[in-house]
């Protein structure tokens, strides 16, 4: 199936960067497989910025869309941050109609973070460095981001472990994506390439000393960026030491195809090492070189002197690079995209199988004096529900079903439908409401066990206030794992302190095409009906779901302080009576 994919990088597209190289290779491979891929990035290139503005005006139909200038973070790196480009990003996400939005290095305050946070599409996040995980600083913000990310990927096991400490979840490891055709082995010259870093002069001096005794061998200092400081060339290798700047993959490939040995920088690019290995270059990177840079120079000298050793090391490198190929990267990422596509349910048609029924208003979450924190009598609840014009209510006491079953019996003879339910406390994963229950479900089971117990008796799984971080809630991974078992997601709860918790639930339900529900969560009579759904009259759980899918969420808020105050007064009176 052809997908529309947005790849969002935080780094300036006009400057070389390993992450951008990865994104560029992935985009090319996915396009070869028939997918429509757009790269969204900041840039400092005037031509790219002008083309980006035109694309935003005319539709997102080009390979790369520059959304705005990058903000300099250091002299060597530029990163796009949400200053002046947030509106452009929102426009691009809306106009692109993407099936998947894939953000890279979202642990930075960047376009990638914003894209994953704000997109309504399925999402994936790839992490490359353990040093780029500081954002967002607040746990609640990270949890909000995790709830919106469908797949977590990492460039290696070390990065995955570091990322999991900040963004818990299951990580899929993905290769760097090396173009094996571009970085193919060529005819080798007596050339040693050193990845140049200005702060690593001891390594350069050690390598110069070793090559001084190797006539005919040249040393090339490879710079990935045109930095301001040019390295001082030793007179010991006069005529045999050169500086080359290779900003893009093509320039690096041309240099590496003829190289025999690469000495990577101590804090260098893993991607460059793989590119060199693919090109048949023997890499000198012994363990312990960070403490003793001379070890790398000594190994390079051995590779220079021993042709057989050099050939064996080069052959091993070719095998290692093959596992990190662009094709392997596309296979892995395409499999991830396929795995998350199943999370989104097919959009329910707007067929009206119950349109001959009359409309009613249903409050799907409320409590009676069977709950430990409520003193509302059942008859008073039923009378109030009818006075409020409700046609149906779900009685969902905490961890008990008796009150709901009693309400069903006492409602006989009334036009009011009473759904027997129970709000069950799970073991550390929030609460789950079972609707249309016949038997009480014990508290303290896992989320999965609670869901299974509800479904075992033909009940419906209703997840209340899933993002109310003032209380225990399911982890994002738990919600994602049980998406196919959730019958109804509560998108409006009238008792939540912060309205954005309801907004987050509505966003989640829309993203995965979940059936939306609403309730007052009333613990006092004035709260009854403050959250409800306008829907067709129903009979039984099957018709309930049909009616709810065509329903309309009703928000009738009252002062939460007023309702909470009434609850506390009622609890105090009840406690006083019990002590007499």
Question: Cα–Cα distance between 269 and 276 in angstroms, integer?
Answer: 11
Mean pLDDT of the 520-539 span: 95
Mean pLDDT of the 554-575 span: 63
Residues 67 and 206 in one domain: no
Split into its structural domains, the chain has a count of: 3
Residue 307 lies in a domain: yes
Kindly state the tokens that stand for 267: 């804090």
Residues 136 and 34 in one domain: yes
Residue 351 lies in a domain: no
Kindly state the tokens that stand for 272: 């460059």
Residue 71 has pLDDT above 80, yes or no: no
Residue 180 lies in a domain: no
Report whether 554 contacts 519 (CB < 8 A): no
At 349, the pLDDT band (50, 70, 90 cuts) reads: low
At 75, the pLDDT band (50, 70, 90 cuts) reads: very low
Report whether 264 contacts 173 (CB < 8 A): no
Classify strands 531-536 and 552-555 as parallel, antiparallel or unpaired: antiparallel
Residue-wise pLDDT tens digits, 129-163:
999 999 998 888 999 999 999 999 999 999 999 99
Residue 111 lies in a domain: yes
Residue 536 lies in a domain: yes
Report whether 289 contacts 296 (CB < 8 A): yes
Q: Give the number of other CB atoms < 10 A from CB of residue 86.
A: 15
Kindly state the tokens that stand for 410: 């006492």
- Can you give the residue range of the structural domain that contains 106? 4-174
Range of lowest pLDDT (70-74, 169-173, 195-199, 555-559): 70-74
Residue-wise pLDDT tens digits, 319-342:
999 999 999 999 999 999 999 998
Question: Cα–Cα distance between 153 and 26 in angstroms, integer?
Answer: 14
Residues 379 and 526 in one domain: yes
First-to-last CA distance in the chain?
Answer: 71
Residue 186 lies in a domain: no
3-state SS of 451-493? HHHHHHCCCEEEECCCCCCCCCCCCHHHHHHCHHHCCEEEEEE
Residues 52 and 170 in one domain: yes
Question: Cα–Cα distance between 533 and 302 in angstroms, integer?
Answer: 77
Residue-wise pLDDT tens digits, 76-90:
455 545 456 889 999
Kindly state the tokens that stand for 314: 């080069």
Residue 305 has pLDDT above 70, yes or no: yes
Residue 339 lies in a domain: no
Per DSSP, what are the bridge partners of residue 194? 221, 263
Report whether 341 contacts 511 (CB < 8 A): no
Residues 205 and 125 in one domain: no
Kindly state the tokens that stand for 112: 């990638």
pLDDT confidence of residue 574: 56
Residue 429 lies in a domain: yes
pLDDT confidence of residue 353: 75
Residues 556 and 431 in one domain: yes
Classify strands 359-366 and 531-536 as parallel, antiparallel or unpaired: antiparallel
Q: How many CA atoms lie within 13 A of 282 on its CB side?
A: 26
Residues 258 and 383 in one domain: no
Question: Cα–Cα distance between 208 and 214 in angstroms, integer?
Answer: 10
Q: How many CA atoms lie within 13 A of 525 on its CB side?
A: 15
The string over 284-295, giving b where at least 16 C-beta atoms fall within 10 Å of a residue's C-beta and e elsewhere, is bbeeebeeebbb
As a whole number, the mean pLDDT across the chain is: 91
Kindly state the tokens that stand for 230: 């040019």
- Domain final position from 125, 146, 174: 174
Residues 19 and 117 in one domain: yes
CATH value at residue 423: 3.20.20.140
Residues 473 and 366 in one domain: yes
- Domain final position from 265, 298, 322: 322
pLDDT confidence of residue 16: 87
Token pair 């082995």: residue: 185
Question: Cα–Cα distance between 446 and 466 in angstroms, integer?
Answer: 16
Classify strands 71-72 and 78-79 as parallel, antiparallel or unpaired: antiparallel
pLDDT confidence of residue 237: 85
The string over 459-498, giving b where at least 16 C-beta atoms fall within 10 Å of a residue's C-beta and e elsewhere, is bbbbbbbbbbbeeebbbbebbbebbeebbbbbbbbbbbee
Question: Cα–Cα distance between 25 and 461 in angstroms, integer?
Answer: 43
Q: Give the number of other CB atoms < 10 A from CB of residue 318.
A: 16
Classify strands 151-154 and 122-127 as parallel, antiparallel or unpaired: parallel
Question: Cα–Cα distance between 382 and 417 in angstroms, integer?
Answer: 10
**At 366, which helix (H) or strand (E)?**
strand 359-366
In 128-240, which ranges are E strands?
A: 151-154, 171-173, 191-195, 218-223
Token pair 């067709």: residue: 536
Residue-wise pLDDT tens digits, 156-207:
999 999 999 999 999 999 999 999 999 999 999 999 999 988 888 899 989 9
The CA angle 138-12-164, to the nearest 5 degrees, is 35
Residues 466 and 376 in one domain: yes
Residues 267 and 169 in one domain: no
Task: Name the more confident of 192 and 267.
Answer: 192
Sheet holding 218-223, edge to edge: 241-245, 218-223, 191-195, 261-263, 282-283
- Domain final position from 123, 146, 174: 174
Residues 113 and 198 in one domain: no
Mean pLDDT of the 419-431 span: 96
To the nearest 10 degrees (0 to 180), the angle between helices 294-305 and 307-322 is 110
72: left (phi over 0), alpha (psi -120 to 50) or beta: beta
CATH value at residue 231: 3.40.50.2000
Question: Cα–Cα distance between 190 and 305 in angstroms, integer?
Answer: 11
Residue-wise pLDDT tens digits, 250-261:
999 999 999 999
Give the closest residue to 64 by CA, choosing from 90, 87, 43, 83.
Answer: 43
Kindly state the tokens that stand for 178: 């090396």
Give the closest residue to 355 by CA, choosing from 75, 81, 550.
Answer: 550
Give the closest residue to 171 by CA, choosing from 128, 226, 122.
Answer: 128
């Amino acid at each position: 199936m052809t997908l529309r994919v947005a790849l969002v990088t935080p780094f300036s597209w006009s400057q070389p960067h390993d992450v951008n190289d990865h994104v560029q290779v992935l985009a090319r491979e996915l396009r070869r497989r028939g997918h429509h891929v757009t790269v969204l990035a900041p840039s400092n290139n005037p031509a790219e910025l002008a083309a980006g503005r035109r694309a935003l005006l005319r539709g997102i139909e080009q390979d790369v869309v520059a959304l705005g200038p990058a903000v300099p973070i250091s002299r060597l790196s530029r990163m796009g941050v949400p200053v002046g480009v947030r509106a452009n990003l929102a426009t691009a996400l809306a106009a692109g109609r993407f099936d998947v939005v894939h953000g890279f290095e979202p642990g930075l305050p960047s376009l990638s973070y914003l894209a994953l946070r704000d997109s309504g599409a399925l999402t994936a996040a790839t992490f490359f460095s353990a040093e780029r995980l500081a954002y967002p600083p607040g746990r609640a913000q990270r949890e909000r981001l995790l709830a919106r990310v469908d797949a977590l990927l990492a460039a290696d096991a070390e990065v995955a472990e570091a990322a999991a400490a900040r963004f818990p979840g299951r990580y899929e490891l993905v290769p760097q994506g090396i173009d094996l055709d571009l970085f193919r082995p060529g005819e080798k010259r007596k050339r040693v390439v050193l990845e140049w870093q200005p702060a690593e002069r001891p390594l350069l001096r050690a390598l110069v000393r070793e090559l001084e005794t190797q006539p005919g061998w040249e040393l090339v200092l490879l710079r990935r960026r045109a930095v301001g400081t040019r390295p001082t060339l030793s007179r010991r290798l006069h005529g045999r030491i050169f500086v080359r700047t290779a900003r893009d993959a093509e320039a690096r490939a041309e240099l590496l195809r003829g190289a025999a040995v690469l000495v990577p920088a101590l804090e260098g690019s893993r991607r460059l090492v793989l590119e060199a290995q693919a090109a048949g270059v023997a890499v000198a990177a012994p363990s312990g070189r960070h403490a003793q840079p001379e070890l790398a120079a000594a190994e390079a000298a051995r590779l220079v002197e021993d042709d057989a050793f050099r050939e064996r090391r080069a052959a091993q490198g070719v095998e290692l690079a093959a596992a990190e190929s662009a094709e392997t990267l596309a296979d892995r990422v395409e499999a991830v995209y396929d795995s998350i596509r199943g999370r989104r349910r097919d959009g329910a048609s707007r067929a009206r199988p119950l349109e001959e029924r009359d409309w009613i208003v249903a409050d799907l979450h409320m409590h009676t004096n069977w709950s430990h924190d409520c003193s509302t009598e059942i008859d008073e609840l039923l009378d109030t529900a009818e006075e409020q014009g409700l046609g149906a209510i779900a009685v969902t006491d905490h961890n008990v079903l008796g009150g709901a079953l009693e309400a069903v019996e006492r409602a006989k003879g009334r036009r009011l439908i009473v759904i027997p339910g129970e709000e069950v406390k799970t073991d550390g994963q929030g609460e789950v409401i079972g609707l249309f229950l016949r038997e009480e479900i014990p508290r303290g089971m896992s989320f999965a066990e609670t869901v299974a117990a509800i479904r075992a008796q033909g009940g419906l799984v209703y997840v209340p206030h899933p993002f109310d971080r003032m209380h225990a809630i399911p982890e994002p991974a738990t919600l994602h794992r049980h998406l196919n078992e959730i019958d109804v997601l509560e998108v409006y709860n009238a008792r939540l302190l912060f309205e954005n918790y309801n907004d987050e639930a509505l966003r989640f339900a829309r993203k995965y095409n979940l059936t939306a529900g609403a309730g007052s969560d009333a613990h006092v009579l004035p709260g009854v009906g403050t959250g409800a759904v306008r829907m067709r009259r129903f009979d039984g759980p099957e018709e309930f779901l049909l009616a709810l899918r065509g329903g309309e969420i009703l928000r009738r808020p009252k002062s939460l302080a007023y309702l909470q105050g009434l609850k506390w007064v009622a609890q105090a009176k009840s406690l006083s009576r019990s002590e007499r």
